[in-house]
Structures are given as C-alpha cells and as structure tokens.
Structure 1
Amino acid sequence: MPHILPPTRSCRLMLAGLSLTMGLPAALPAQSGAAEGIRALGAETRAGRPLPLHIGGRVVATDGYRRQWPGTYIEGAFRGPSVDLGVGPGAVSLRIRVDGGAPMPLVRPAPGLYRIAARGAGPHRIRVDVASESQAGWTVLRGLFAPTGTTPLPAPAPRARQIEFIGDSHTVGYGNTSPTRQCSQDAIWRTTDTTLGLPGIAARHYDADYQVNAISGRGIVRNYGGFAAPTLPDAYPYALFDGRTPATTPGWNPQVVVIALGTNDFSTPLKPGERWADRDALHADYERRYVDFVGRLRRHYPRAFFVLWATDLADGEIKREVGKVVDRLRAGGERRIAFVPVDGLGFTGCDAHPDTDDDRRIAAAIERAIDARPDIWTRR
C-alpha cells in the first residue's frame, strides 16, 4: 500500500491558492452544531461577568481572543448551574468539557453566546478546545461569562509541565477522524481534531499545558508541491498568519519541544522553476535551515529538550534527512535532543494522513523518548 497518494481535490485547491488546505470555503454557511447541554442564546442576551481564564496557545487579546494557530484552549471555573461561552467571527470547531466529562462539540457556531449546562451548584471547571485548523483566517473566542445565578471563580492555575509542538498536518491532526482517505474540503475540516491528535494525547498523558504551532502543507524550506506561502520557520514568529503580529506568550517556557517538519519538503517532486537545481540541493538547503531553526529555538528555550520525529514516507527520504539534521546538531554540541523515527503507520485519514490510531502510536514513541530522560520535567 503506497503511503503517498496522488494529489486529491483538497491538495489541488491548496496548490491553486483557492484554499490553504484547511481554510473553510466561504460558500459554506455558519452553523451551530451544538451538542445536548449547549444552547444558543438570543442576540438580546448580554454577557455576564467574565470568568478569569487560563489560556493555552497563541492569542491576541482584542475583541476577545483572536487566534489562528491550532490547539487553542481556554479554561475557567465557576459556581452555579451554567456558564456562557462567547464566540466571535470565523469558522471553528470546538470541544467543550465540564468537570472533565465527555467532550461536547460546538461546530461552526454563529457569533454569539452559548449557554453550557453543568450538574449541580458546583464548583465546576470548564475547558473549551479548538479542534479545527484555521489557515484561511483568524477566529475569535470572546471568553466565558457568568449568567445570573453563577459566580466566577479564580482561573485554574497553569500546569507545571509545558510542551510545544511544531510541525505540519501530521501535528495538526489533519483529517485524523475520517473513516476514509477520500475527503472533500468540508470533510477535511470537519474530521480534523487536534485534541485527538499527537498534541492532545501527549499533553493529557503528562498533564501538560501545550502550544500547537503547526500549519498543514508547510515545510522547512519548501511547501507541499512547491506552493508559495511562508514556510513554517517564516510563519513561526507571529501570533497570526499575517507576518505582522509578533507572538508573545508570557510565562511560556516549555520543558519539551516536539518538532516534525519535512513531509511537505520531500513528498512531491521538484517542479521547473523552483529554486533548487536538484534533490541534493534541496537536501542541503533543508538541513541547513532546519539546523538554524532549532538553533533559534534553543536560544529562546535554553533548557528545553527537543524531540525531532519523522515518518518513513517518501521511501524513507524524510526520515533520513531528519536524522542528518539531528546528527549535525549533535556534532555542533547539542545534547538535549532525541530523534524518533516512526514507521509502519496506517495513514487512513484524509488524503493518506495519520489517523487517530497512528496518532496514538506516534505519541507513544515520543513519550518513550521523553521518559528516557527523567530530568526533563525538573529543569526550567
């Protein structure tokens, strides 16, 4: 069974610049796919007192919390029978948990307030996770609010452990819950669930706060099929995909940084007009830029442990190249680093991406590398 399938409709749309892989087509209307326990409130309802929040991921505090990188989450606490969630513009798929219960989906909600029911008077904790990818534009979480009869409580404390995930669609969880590889653009969007992908699995395993700084289709020096857009290292410094808004996250100092980049650099052949004369030139550029990128991260996170992982796609080319990057980093004196090759995945998600079983296997491999260094969590 081949691991790389011919470009599907979603890839062709991405390459044509009509939709950057995960952007929701504008023709699709806003909907409120709300689970039982979630009720849309009328436009006349005014927001109550805001709950203090613990926020995970990169956000820009304006008209609520503007966000675009995957994996954003907000957490709050309250006493009372319900709490209100404010949602702003932008297509988003949310997973809402009260007191650690089963996730309740809120898919493509229209802007407004949504009342979330709780059992009993409390106290209660609530967590709202973004499951979808938002390449086409930012979305807004306005916050959590206390209606009449509910009292805001202090925000949950930040967790002692922090993990940052950097990568492409394999980190995002692109189409990982799909029952088939053949997916429409809307199906890709709906079946992408970062909470069930590598970041969500590993963060729950370690009870860690996390950031997911990943974009489907992007590489270290080359994007999928050579399409023009900022590569991941170029987009990384910014809070939004605008190349203007710097990312600032006070208190963010992860003990572990997990990186997977290279699938998009190497999974398609070079085309006429690309800047590399041949594959060897592409390899050399990739290795140099990846080493530079990790060096930049090391200066920012001087005590972090880096895990670079790769699959055996593209006849092992990606895995070999990432291995060379790790060798070069070690030769340059880097010691707090591990290379984790992951082989034999099923790739039954959309467009032959990892499915949720694959995500669990990837997470287990990375967890073994982390657990082999028990000092990781004691160093900041």
Structure 2
Amino acid sequence: MNLTRFSIALVSLSWISLSAHSAELQQLPTHTSSRVLVTSDEAGNKAYEYSWPAIYFETAFNGDSLTIKFDDDQNNFHLIIDSQTPIAIKKPGKQDYVVPNLTPGKHQVRLEKISETQSSTGRFLGFYSDDKAAKLPERKRQIEFIGDSFTVGYGNTSSSRECTNEELFNTTNSQLAFGPLTAKHFNADYQINASSGFGIVRNYNGHSPDKNLIGLYPFTLHNNHYIYASNWQPQVIVIGLGTNDFSTKLNDGERWKTREELQQDYVKKYTQLVKTLHTKNPKAHFILMASDKMEGELAAQVGNVVATLKADGLKKVDSIIFSGLDYQGCHWHPSAKDDKLLADLLIDYLSKNKAW
C-alpha cells in the first residue's frame, strides 16, 4: 500500500472521557514486534512504552466497540481499521479515543507511530472493547532495518527541501520509508531500529562524539536503561549506516586525524556489528545498503565491510548500492518517491535471492 500524506484522512477526532461504561471494557490482546517496554497494572492491563521509529500495534475483535487509550503528547500516529484509509492522530496526549461508526462484525486494527522522537518516550495504553477478541493472522516472516535518517523516513513527505523543525516533524512518515514498505509487501513483521544523525563510529558533522548507533542499538528505549531481550529472530537484517560517518569533513579535535583512519575504524566497527548480529541471528541474511554519493567513499567502505565478512566465512551477506534518488525530502533527504524506489530494489533482491 503506497500512501502519501495527501491520501490520509484528516478527520476531526472526538476525544471523550470514559464514564461508568468503562467498567465493561476489557483490554484486547495486542500484537507488536516492535521494541517496547511492557508493564502491567494491578488489574493486569498492559502499557507499552517506546522510543524507536515505526512502532506499531495490532488487534482484532468481533463487534462494534473500540476504545484506544493514549499517553503520548510527543508523537503522530495513523489508525487503520480493516485496511481502510488511515486516520491521522496528532500528539494525542493522555486521552481515550472511541472509534466512531464501526459496523458489527470482525475488525482488524492497526495503530502506527509515524513520527521520530529521539529524546522522549511515549506510551500506548492499549485497545479496549466490550466485545469479544478475535485472532489475528500470524506472520511467519520477520525483517529488521538498522540505520539513520534515511531509514527513519526523515521529512520524506515534504514538498520542499527547506523545512523548519515543525515542518520536519510533520512531514516525517516512518511508515512510508523503504523498510515498512518492503516488510508490508512480504507480509512480514518488522523493526525499524534507526535514529537520525547517527553513524557507525561518527555522527553527522562529528556531533555527540561519545555516542553512535552501535551504542544505542542494544536498548529497548533511548534512555539506555533497559537492554532489549526477546525472541525476535529476523530472517533478514538490512543495515544502512555510514551517511553520517562520511558526509562531512573531519573537524579539528575529532579522534581521527585522517580520512583513512576514519575509514579503517568504520570498517572494523561495522564488521564487528554484523558479526555480533550474526551470532544472535545465525540464519539471517544481511543486506548492507549505501548511496553512491559522497564521491563513492561510503560505497567503497561498505564494499570493504562485505569483503571482510565474506573472507571471515559469513556467506549470507551482500550490499545494495543505490543511485537515482531525487532527494526532495527535508534537508536533501530521500522523498517518499525515493523510498518507493529503495523498497522496490529490496523487494526485487529478496525475491530473486530467496532470502526468506
């Protein structure tokens, strides 16, 4: 499903507080493959806290009653009922939203986080109904995407390359980035473990030198308090890291004195990352993605990573070097059109190579 911001239903949401009727509501079982911190209250109702992009939650029920409980004044969402046009929900705060005009019958529901927040977390308090829960179809495929702003979908629906912070926030749609588009094509569960501005060893223009995506990756939330642990076992892992490592010149005071030192450090740490992921996911197929821009520096170093991994015995690893993007998104980032192109490249590769 290839949606743009112009096809989203911008409806007038009716927020209401639940009264005595709320005692009849029961929390519905919820499916998510995303990185979330799950907690329970005394009644056994679950809450889901999250930081990473493209988080999603799903449920199904038989009936015509559905209430969605939010505790998030930071993020934008899309609510999708039975594959219909998404309902845009912007920074809902702590509110209960009763879905209007549901007809009796079985319904499948999906709530998607579309915005990126790096310094805060949000909470989803669950789907509630006084009707009977139904079973969701199970997915056999899992795919993970690890990356930076390109993987996030940074400003990808913008009509201009020039964006204010508010415009950037409102035109970022992580669910229209190439990762979710690829996963949905194959009906796969997915994780988007990406953060704008971060790299393998160096962040954009050398900022926050004590941090990088590798250091952020092990955690469920961006506060680095909870190590992520689950039975998540993706058959495919797509990594797109390096744009921030190489897109700017080295500044005075950075720990690499030359580009050669930076390149060597990048290849070493990237190789270690893939080997660590391979140890945890021994059957996974790895695809390393890179742009042909930056005078080919990034593509060359990704090629060195792949060559090193193959020389060390890792067979299921390959690269996709992409070109031909229009970069019409915010601040010269890939547009939604570019994301479709990248998704098509991945879909073609995965289909031809039988990576599943």
Amino acid at match of 2:32: I
Give 2:213's match in structure 1, choosing from 232, 241, 244.
232
Alpha-carbon displacement from aligned partner over 1:211-252 (angstroms, at most 9, x marks no partner): 0000000000000111115211111100011222111233x1
Alpha-carbon displacement from aligned partner over 1:64-123 (angstroms, at most 9, x marks no partner): 100001111000112222311111134111011101111111011121101123541011
Give 2:296's match in structure 1, choosing from 316, 320, 326.
316
SS at 1:54 equivalent: coil
2: distance between equivalents of 1:90 and 1:135? Answer: 14
Counterparts of 1:139-288 in structure 2 under 5 Å? 139-146=122-129, 150-228=130-208, 230-250=211-231, 252-288=232-268
Alpha-carbon displacement from aligned partner over 1:10-35 (angstroms, at most 9, x marks no partner): xxxxxxxxxxxxxxxxxxxxxxx994
Are the equivalent residues in 2 in contact too, given 1:172–1:197 (CA < 8 A)?
yes
Amino acid at match of 2:234: P
Amino acid at match of 1:364: D
Q: CA deviation at 1:157?
A: 4.0
Tell me, yes or no, if structure 1 residue 103 matches structure 2 residue 86: yes
1: distance between equivalents of 2:159 and 2:16? Answer: 33
Tell me, yes or no, if structure 1 residue 112 matches structure 2 residue 95: yes
Amino acid at match of 2:285: F
Q: CA deviation at 1:259?
A: 0.5
1: distance between equivalents of 2:135 and 2:119? Answer: 31
TM-score, length of structure 2 as denominator length: 0.92
Amino acid at match of 1:299: T
Give 1:53's match in structure 2, choosing from 20, 26, 30.
30
2: distance between equivalents of 1:183 and 1:313? Answer: 22
Q: Are the structure 2 counterparts of residues 369 and 82 from structure 1 closer, same or farther at C-alpha, using a change threshold of 3 Å?
A: same
Amino acid at match of 1:54: H
Sequence identity percentage: 36
Query: Any runs of at least 4 consecutive aligned residues in structure 1 with deviations exceeding 6 A, and if so which?
Result: none
Corresponding position of 1:342: 322
SS at 1:221 equivalent: coil
Give 1:135's match in structure 2, choosing from 118, 143, 152.
118
Amino acid at match of 2:315: R
Give 1:40's match in structure 2, choosing from 7, 11, 15.
15
SS at 2:264 equivalent: helix
Q: CA deviation at 1:36?
A: 2.9
Corresponding position of 1:89: 72
Corresponding position of 1:12: none
Amino acid at match of 1:249: S
Are the equivalent residues in 2 in contact too, given 1:305–1:337 (CA < 8 A)?
yes
Corresponding position of 1:26: none
Root-mean-square deviation (CA, aligned residues, Å) is 1.7
Aligned residues: 340
Amino acid at match of 2:113: V
Q: CA deviation at 1:282?
A: 0.1
Q: Are the structure 2 counterparts of residues 177 and 307 from structure 1 closer, same or farther at C-alpha, using a change threshold of 3 Å?
A: same
Q: Are the structure 2 counterparts of residues 34 and 344 from structure 1 closer, same or farther at C-alpha, using a change threshold of 3 Å?
A: closer
Amino acid at match of 2:17: G
1: distance between equivalents of 2:16 and 2:292? Answer: 49
2: distance between equivalents of 1:245 and 1:158? Answer: 27
> Which 10-residue stretch deviates more, 203-212 or 110-119?
110-119
Amino acid at match of 1:65: Y
Q: Are the structure 2 counterparts of residues 344 and 35 from structure 1 closer, same or farther at C-alpha, using a change threshold of 3 Å?
A: closer
2: distance between equivalents of 1:71 and 1:152? Answer: 28
2: distance between equivalents of 1:121 and 1:154? Answer: 13
Amino acid at match of 1:300: K
Q: CA deviation at 1:302?
A: 0.4
TM-score, length of structure 1 as denominator length: 0.86
1: distance between equivalents of 2:277 and 2:12? Answer: 42
Structure 2 unaligned spans of 5+: 1-7, 41-46
Are the equivalent residues in 1 in contact too, given 2:9–2:86 (CA < 8 A)?
no
